[in-house]
Structure 1
Amino acid sequence: MTNESYFGKKLKELRLERGYTQSELSKICDISQAQVARYEKGDHMPTKRIINKIINGLGVDSEYFSNLTEVSNSSLDADYQRLRDSLINPEDKLVLRKILRGLYLNTQTKMVYNESEDSYS
């Protein structure tokens, strides 16, 4: 399950639990009804600023959406170890290193982007 679909599932459950339509939720959170629908379908992941609007609008603890992935770190560590141990060719190891470096840089870029976006809120 992706972060988007996990978030969407949790959002829809919470909305229905509160007895709101998508339109009502959009007004409460000051976002469009189309955005709510995209989030619930798992088509799009909201920004940190929008997640905060939803948390505040629905009056839930900030931890409600905190587990946005079902992949544990220990599972990732084990997968990485198996992959690394299976690589014999030095070129393959270099490719793996470049992929991991790219993922790291992508994550860092998203963090910087989200922080700068929040400062404009």
Structure 2
Amino acid sequence: MYIFSERLKDLRIENGYKQEEMANILNITTSAYGYYEQGRNEPSLEMVKKICMKFEVSADYLLGSINTPNHQVHYSVAEGLSLNEQELEVLEKMEELHLLKDISQEPIKNVERLHRYWEFIKKEIHEI
């Protein structure tokens, strides 16, 4: 986690934040944040996600897998097919639709949920 703590500190300084400010942004104590930078504690996955979103970097960069802070993320889902994050979100919503069709309780609410998901999917596909 040495790379994580170093990159976290570098990003904080580059963006002009004090440790206290970052702790407030992440809704944690200043000492908890300081421990991340010192490498004494490791953040949860949810906290890594918050940090990445705040600094607009990928988790791959923050964790030291790559050296480029911002890169296009692709997920390989089948041979010769890769999806960006937006396309993956659409597929995840479609999977949720598939799961909803099996629910037999409260059919009216399920139809309303299906309709909302369908509208979301149409909008997302249109933007792609």
Q: TM-score scaled by structure 2?
A: 0.46
* Bigger-Rg structure (1/2): 2
Structure with greater helix percent:
1
Structure with greater strand percent:
2
Higher relative contact order (CA 8 A, sep 6+): 1
Q: TM-score scaled by structure 1?
A: 0.48
